[in-house]
Structure formats: structure tokens, C-alpha cells
């Protein structure tokens, strides 16, 4: 077998199979593979029936069409451009109404929607469905009073506080398009996204603690607004949540004074407003804007292999049905008894679909966690699970691997018996981490769901179902309802049975993206041009002899560092902005905790010497221009880069050098092979000086 998944998987581990535990099966929405197959078949052959039945649980101002030709319309063939995906055209609804009003009207007003758990264990709170609805109505009125209309883009840059959920649902309620930017991004990244979306309204918070570190969100946002304005995009209204003063431990008096002073110096009357001041006078009633099924709900930026982030655009009704259904089935949600916790930040798609929309549409009670699994120490997750009796837990392989370092006894003092389903997302999970999750966290009593999906797909597309699937550690197993994957070879030929290649999708499911905001051509080119007739995810996959699907990772110039997808081109373009750097190439290297780390090669301009200072400057530039999470682990000097005769950088060779693999394969097309030896010796020099 070829090595893949960074060599973690062997024939031996591929044959391990885990049956769903009885305690999960008895209450499951899908109790076995026969039931799964029946439901799956209907979802593919009669999508209007399958999704139409699900749609009945929701409120529609104008009903969904019932014949297939109106229910699902699409074109996946670039030669018959434009690519088009439409679901339930003609119907009208509002996702916020379905997530809140519908639940309150069903008598669930007093049910807890979120337990809010702060970074500091002393900070906690909770909000019911009724309270959340009132806050959302008030904020909808605030936005309307500021002149925000249906279709306007609202940028949101916030920590994991309930106001973030309120802001996004208020946008949905009035038909505005939210564009959430993860609170770990730099001012430059936020400015680019404000600019691209043409957002005139920005919602932020003053700051947040991540562990012991204070992140000055407002300062970063103020700088971003200036940068966006310089490029012609004025933010006319900025609304800021005053979060720090309400914390039990907001920081030393001195630090807070300094923080207040910095807020005052950047504050622009007229543009900047405090959230609590606007909310004080807002009314708690608001009639939702009824929107068409295909009206846009939100955009969310994801890395593109050409460097510029893409604004992935999702529409309303299909996304609503898909996040609700994937949440219900992938976690086997039990509304009466479950407490669900997804550790992802709402700034990523996982947070959109599985912190906010999916859970609320299912009237779930969730934990909304502001902190990190390592503060005050590595026991934080176990403390929260036992305190709130969490039954469904969803996190990333990188977090699991980091926690594994603290040994298998760490969970012993905690009662984790409430757990039933453990989910993972964001990158391939190595079988060792899977098994640790299963035996140490799940105590052998839980189903593991390794959910494969993307920002673009809106929700899980390949995933086990907790009560049905016999799982294999490291495999995302089988397609979700409505999803038809194929594995293709380089020529686009379908691989039947066992084999490895590109994973593509033959028909749309309701929750998939509709376009790249403002650039439909890029949408078609990125996802539909290599294999006409298919959506291409950009990942490789293998199907084993039992039909299980194993995602093998990206096959384009992207890398996945701690579950954050990044393009090598984006990092390279920052490196070459340094006045002394002539050229740069970035490749991923395997990393035990992060999955992949960044390894950069930089060529100095003629006559300039690469120094430790330059290395530090480059790291700072990446932190400031992209985000701290994009900081490379290695930057090595490259007096010359391996290139083909036509001048194309041979990344395949660079990957080998970064990994200290001397067998470079066929390098006959390399213009100057002497660079290789120099690169190996510079690599050693770099490691010696570390
Ligand atoms: O490479 C796949 C990997 O993450 C990519 C999507 O990243 P992003 O859009 O940021 O969304 C992350 C959260 C859904 C995919 O193209 N990926 C995600 N989940 C898995 C995965 N790779 C393997 N197994 C997974 N479960």
C-alpha cells in the first residue's frame, strides 16, 4: 500500500473495525447500515421527497415546491456555463425564525440555548431560547436603525461570546449577509475582507483573553478600518461589545487603564458605538424579513491556492436543511437529554454550522466556550464535560494530539460517563489519536464520528453515523445523505472499488456553496474545471476493499496546520514583500501535533546575507499580515530554488529536502541540479543554529 495520511495508516490499522456501542444505538435516529442505506438511496433517487419531508419540520412563508424539477436545479458542467446550484426555488423562509421563534413557539422558550463558559473558569453564564430571541430582535432593530438592509454585508470580528451569535442571527433575521472574520486574524487580513465584501458595518468587541494573553481586538479592528478606508472602503458604523470590564478578572488596573486609553485615542464619534448603548434603547420585537431560498445567508473567507482568499457564499434554505440534518444525524442529537459542545471558533465554518445554526435549528443546548483547552491547564475540557454533563463533544485532531501528551490518566479524576458521541473535524485523524479519543476520553463507550467536509460544503459530506456505522480509525467512512462521491484518477476516469485519487462529487447537496462572492468565474475555475461534471474538493481519497473512504489530504498547493487551511502562495507573497527577499517557496512538513507545519525557503536578493534578524522579521511579517497561527516553524535560506527548465519551482523536490529525504525521484527536468546539495547543507545549517 502507498503511504498516505502522513504514513500513519497501515494495512493493519485499516482492518480495525469498531461497532457502535449499544447505549448509542438504542436511541439513534439511524440504527444500522440497512436503515442508512435505505435513507441514503431515497436522498439520492428522490431528493425532493427526502429533503421535502425534512423541510416540513420548518416554517416556510411560501411553501417549498414538491416536484423534483423545481426542488433541485443544477448544472455542474463548465462547458454549459454558468455553474448553477439552486434548491427549493420559490420558497420563502427565515433561518433565524426557524432557529429561535419556532422553538420558543413550540414551548422551548425556557430551554438553555447556550451555557457560556469563559476563558477564566470564574466567568460563566447562560442564555435561554427566549432570551436569545429577545436579544436578536433588539440587535436586528439596531442594525435596521443604522440603515442596514437586505443584501448588505456586515463584517463581524468577535470572540466567542453570546453577542457573536446574536449578531449573526440578527443579520440573518433582516436578510443581511454576515461575513465573520476569525478573531485571530491580523488587521491586514480583516481589512482585506472588509474591502472585498464591501462591508460598511463592523461588529467587534474590545478584547478577549486567550489563556493569559490579552488580544486587543478593538485596536486591531481600528487599524483594519483605517486600512480599508485608505483603499476606499469606509466602515460607516462600528459596534463594539464592552467585554473586558464584565470579566471576573479583567486584568491589572494598570493594564486596563492602558487599554482604555488606547480605545479612547482611536475612537471615532459617529462611526464607533458601544453595543450596550445601542441595545439599551432598542425594542425587543422584530418581524423577520422573509427571504427567498436562494438569497445569500453568509459569506466566509477560505484560502485559495492563488493566494487571495475566496469569499465562499452560502444561501439560505438549502444550508438550513443541511446543517440541521447533518447535526441531527452525525451527532445523533437527542433534544431532550443532550448537552452538546463543539470547541471550534464561530469564526470558522465549523462554528457557523455546528455552534450556531445546526444546534439552534435542532433546539439543542450547547456549551459556548471562549477559552482554550490548555487554560488554566490541560484538564479544562474534562472539567467542562463533567460539570455540564456534555454528551456530544466535537473537536479537532490537533487538540486531541496535544492532549495525548499529558497521558492516559488525565481523565481519570473526572466523570466523563455522560459522553456518547465524540466528533472530529478539520484534518485527517491518525489512528493512534482516534484510538486514544475512543479509549481514554470515550472509555470505549462512545461512537467516534470523523466528519469530513469543508467551508465550501456547508456541512458534513463524508461521516460515520453514530448508531449505524462500524467505524475504522482514520476513515471518514461513508457519504452523508444526498452526497454522491466518486474517486477519479488524473485523467478523470472513475475508479471503481479499491483505489486512490481525487475525491469529487457528482450532484449537489442542499448545503453546498453557491459561488465565490463577486467572482463566479473563480468559483467555476477552482471547483469545476479540472473534472467537468463534478465538484472537486481539492482533497485526495482512498477507497478500501470494504468501500470505506479515507481522506488522504490536500492535493493542491494548500496545507493544513492545526486544522487551519492555508495556501502556500499566500505565505510566499508575504515573504517576498521583505525588501531583501527575492523569491520564496513554502511547503508543508508533517508535524506530530499540528498535522502539518510550514517550511519556507527564501532566496535573498543578490549580495544580501540571510541572518537571524531577517528570519525574525519574516516571522513577524507573517503574523501581522496574515495571523499568528500562520507563523512558520522553519525558514531556511535557499541560494537557488530547484526549478524546471521553464522556470516552475519543483515543490515536490522542496518537500523532500524539507523532510531530509535524499531520494528525490526523477529530477531530469531540473534546470540546475546543483542547488539540491546546497539546499541540504543550508538545511543542516539552519537546524544547527536553532
Ligand atoms: O483537507 C480537508 C480538511 O480540511 C479541509 C477543509 O478546510 P476548511 O474549509 O477550513 O474547513 C475545515 C472544517 C470543515 C478539507 O478540504 N479536512 C476537514 N475535515 C477533515 C479533513 N481531512 C480529513 N478528514 C477530515 N475529517
Nearest by Cα to 448 from 24, 12, 11, 10: 24
Distance CA 84, CA 123 (A): 47
Weakest-pLDDT range from 145-154, 251-260, 267-276, 489-498? 251-260
Average pLDDT over residues 585-590: 94
Nearest by Cα to 85 from 326, 319, 351: 319
Whole-number Å distance, alpha carbon 118 to ligand 1 midpoint, is 27
Average pLDDT over residues 252-259: 87
**141: Cβ below 6 Å to ligand 1?**
no
Whether the pLDDT of residue 75 is over 80: the answer is yes
Measured from the Cα of 429, ligand 1's closest atom is: 24
**pLDDT-derived band at 10, boundaries 50, 70, 90:** low
Pocket test for ligand 1, best of 424, 558, 565 (most atoms within 8 A of CB): 565
**428: Cβ below 6 Å to ligand 1?**
yes
Percent of residues, the chain, with pLDDT higher than 90 = 88
Cα dihedral angle (511, 512, 514, 515), rounded to 10 degrees?
Answer: 140
In this prediction the pTM is 0.93
**399: Cβ below 6 Å to ligand 1?**
no
Whole-number Å distance, alpha carbon 552 to ligand 1 midpoint, is 11
Backbone angles phi, psi at 560, to 5 degrees: -125, 100
**pLDDT-derived band at 60, boundaries 50, 70, 90:** very high
Per-residue pLDDT tens digits for 404-440: 999 999 999 999 999 999 999 999 899 999 999 999 9
Whether the pLDDT of residue 556 is over 90: the answer is no
Measured from the Cα of 456, ligand 1's closest atom is: 9
**451: Cβ below 6 Å to ligand 1?**
yes
**463: Cβ below 6 Å to ligand 1?**
no
What pLDDT shows up at residue 7?
Answer: 42
What pLDDT shows up at residue 6?
Answer: 38
Provide the CB-side half-sphere exposure for 338 (13 A, CA): 27
**435: Cβ below 6 Å to ligand 1?**
no
Bridge partners (DSSP) of residue 232 are: none
Whether the pLDDT of residue 9 is over 60: the answer is no
In order of their start, the domains of the chain are 3-94+297-552 (3.40.50.12780), 95-289 (3.40.50.12780), 578-689 (3.30.300.30)
Whole-number Å distance, alpha carbon 543 to ligand 1 midpoint, is 18
Percent of residues, the chain, with pLDDT higher than 70 = 98
Helix or strand or coil: residue 582? strand
Whole-number Å distance, alpha carbon 280 to ligand 1 midpoint, is 41
Per-residue pLDDT tens digits for 628-643: 999 999 999 999 999 9
Whether the pLDDT of residue 532 is over 90: the answer is yes
- CA-nearest residue for atom 25, ligand 1, is 452
Q: How many C-beta neighbours within 10 Å does residue 572 have? A: 21
Whether the pLDDT of residue 520 is over 70: the answer is yes
Whether the pLDDT of residue 1 is over 60: the answer is no
DSSP tag of 477: B
Whole-number Å distance, alpha carbon 19 to ligand 1 midpoint, is 25
Measured from the Cα of 453, ligand 1's closest atom is: 14
Mean pLDDT of the chain: 94
**560: Cβ below 6 Å to ligand 1?**
yes
**455: Cβ below 6 Å to ligand 1?**
yes
Extract the runs of DSSP E, i.e. beta strands, from 242-379.
272-274, 291-292, 296-302, 310-315, 340-342, 366-369
Distance CA 609, CA 580 (A): 9
Helices (H), 490-601: 520-528, 568-575
Distance CA 341, CA 338 (A): 10
What pLDDT shows up at residue 286?
Answer: 98
What pLDDT shows up at residue 4?
Answer: 35
Q: Give me the residue label for grid cell 505565505.
A: 571
- CA-nearest residue for atom 18, ligand 1, is 426
What pLDDT shows up at residue 259?
Answer: 86
Amino acid at each position: 500500500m502507498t503511504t498516505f495520511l502522513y504514513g500513519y495508516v497501515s494495512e493493519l490499522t485499516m482492518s480495525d473495525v469498531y461497532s457502535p456501542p449499544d447505549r448509542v444505538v438504542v436511541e439513534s435516529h439511524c440504527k444500522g447500515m440497512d436503515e442508512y442505506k435505505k435513507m441514503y438511496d431515497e436522498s439520492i433517487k428522490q431528493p425532493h421527497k427526502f429533503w421535502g419531508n425534512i423541510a416540513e419540520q420548518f416554517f416556510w412563508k411560501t411553501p417549498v415546491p414538491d416536484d423534483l424539477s423545481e426542488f433541485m436545479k443544477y448544472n455542474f458542467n463548465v462547458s454549459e456555463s454558468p455553474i448553477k446550484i439552486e434548491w427549493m426555488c420559490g420558497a420563502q423562509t427565515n433561518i433565524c425564525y426557524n432557529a429561535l421563534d419556532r422553538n420558543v413557539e413550540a414551548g422551548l422558550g425556557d430551554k438553555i440555548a447556550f451555557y457560556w463558559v469563559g476563558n477564566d473558569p470564574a466567568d460563566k453564564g447562560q442564555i435561554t431560547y427566549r432570551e436569545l430571541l429577545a436579544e436578536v430582535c433588539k440587535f436586528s432593530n439596531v442594525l435596521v436603525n443604522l440603515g442596514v438592509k437586505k443584501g448588505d454585508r456586515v463584517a463581524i470580528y468577535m470572540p466567542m461570546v453570546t453577542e457573536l451569535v446574536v449578531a449573526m442571527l440578527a443579520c440573518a433575521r433582516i436578510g443581511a449577509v454576515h461575513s465573520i472574520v476569525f478573531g485571530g486574524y491580523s488587521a491586514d487580513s480583516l481589512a482585506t475582507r472588509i474591502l472585498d465584501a464591501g462591508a460598511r458595518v463592523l461588529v467587534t468587541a474590545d478584547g478577549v483573553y486567550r489563556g493569559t494573553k490579552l488580544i486587543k481586538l478593538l485596536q486591531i479592528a481600528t487599524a483594519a478600518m483605517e486600512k480599508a478606508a485608505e483603499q476606499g472602503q469606509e466602515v460607516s458604523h462600528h459596534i463594539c461589545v464592552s467585554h473586558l470590564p464584565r470579566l471576573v478578572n479583567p486584568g491589572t488596573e494598570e493594564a486596563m487603564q492602558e487599554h482604555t486609553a488606547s480605545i479612547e485615542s482611536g475612537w471615532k464619534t459617529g462611526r464607533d458605538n458601544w453595543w450596550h448603548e445601542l441595545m439599551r434603547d432598542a425594542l425587543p420585537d422584530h418581524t423577520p424579513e422573509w427571504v427567498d431560498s436562494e438569497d445569500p445567508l453568509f459569506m466566509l473567507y477560505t484560502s485559495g491556492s492563488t493566494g487571495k482568499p475566496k469569499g465562499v457564499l452560502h444561501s439560505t434554505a438549502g444550508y438550513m436543511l443541511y446543517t440541521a440534518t447533518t447535526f441531527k444525524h452525525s451527532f445523533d442529537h437527542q433534544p431532550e437529554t443532550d448537552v452538546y459542545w463543539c470547541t471550534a471558533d464561530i469564526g470558522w465554518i465549523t462554528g457557523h454550522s455546528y455552534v450556531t445554526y445546526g444546534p439552534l435549528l435542532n433546539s439543542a443546548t450547547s456549551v459556548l466556550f471562549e477559552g482554550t483547552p490548555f487554560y488554566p491547564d490541560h484538564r479544562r475540557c474534562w472539567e467542562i464535560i463533567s460539570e455540564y454533563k456534555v454528551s456530544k463533544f466535537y473537536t479537532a485532531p490537533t487538540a486531541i494530539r496535544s492532549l495525548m501528551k499529558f497521558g492516559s490518566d488525565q481523565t481519570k479524576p473526572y466523570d466523563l460517563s455522560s459522553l456518547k458521541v465524540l466528533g472530529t473535524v478539520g484534518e485527517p485523524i491518525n489512528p493512534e489519536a482516534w484510538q486514544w479519543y475512543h479509549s481514554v476520553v470515550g472509555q470505549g463507550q462512545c461512537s467516534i464520528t470523523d466528519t469530513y467536509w469543508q467551508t465550501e460544503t456547508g456541512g458534513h459530506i463524508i461521516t460515520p453515523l453514530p448508531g449505524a456505522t462500524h467505524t475504522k480509525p482514520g476513515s471518514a467512512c461513508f457519504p452523508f445523505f444526498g452526497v454522491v462521491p466518486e474517486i477519479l484518477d488524473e485523467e478523470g476516469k472513475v475508479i471503481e472499488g479499491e483505489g486512490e485519487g481525487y475525491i469529487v462529487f457528482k450532484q449537489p447537496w442542499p448545503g453546498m456553496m453557491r459561488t465565490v462572492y463577486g467572482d463566479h468565474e473563480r468559483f467555476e475555475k477552482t471547483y469545476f474545471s479540472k473534472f467537468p461534471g463534478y465538484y472537486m474538493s481539492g482533497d485526495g481519497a482512498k477507497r478500501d476493499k470494504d468501500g470505506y473512504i479515507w481522506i488522504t489530504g490536500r492535493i493542491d498547493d494548500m496545507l493544513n496546520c492545526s486544522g487551519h487551511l492555508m495556501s502556500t502562495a499566500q505565505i510566499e507573497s508575504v515573504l517576498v514583500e521583505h525588501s531583501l527577499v527575492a523569491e520564496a517557496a513554502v511547503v508543508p512538513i508533517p508535524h506530530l501535533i499540528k498535522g502539518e507545519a510550514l517550511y519556507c525557503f527564501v532566496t535573498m536578493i543578490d549580495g544580501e546575507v540571510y541572518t537571524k534578524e531577517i528570519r525574525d522579521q519574516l516571522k513577524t511579517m507573517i503574523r501581522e499580515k496574515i495571523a499568528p497561527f500562520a507563523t512558520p516553524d522553519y525558514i531556511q535560506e535557499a541560494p537557488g530554488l530547484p526549478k524546471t527548465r521553464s522556470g516552475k519551482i519543483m515543490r515536490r523536490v522542496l518537500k523532500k529536502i524539507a523532510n531530509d529525504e535524499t531520494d528525490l525521484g526523477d529530477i531530469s527536468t531540473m534546470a540546475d541540479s546543483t542547488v539540491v546539495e546546497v539546499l541540504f547543507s543550508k538545511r543542516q545549517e539552519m537546524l544547527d543554529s536553532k
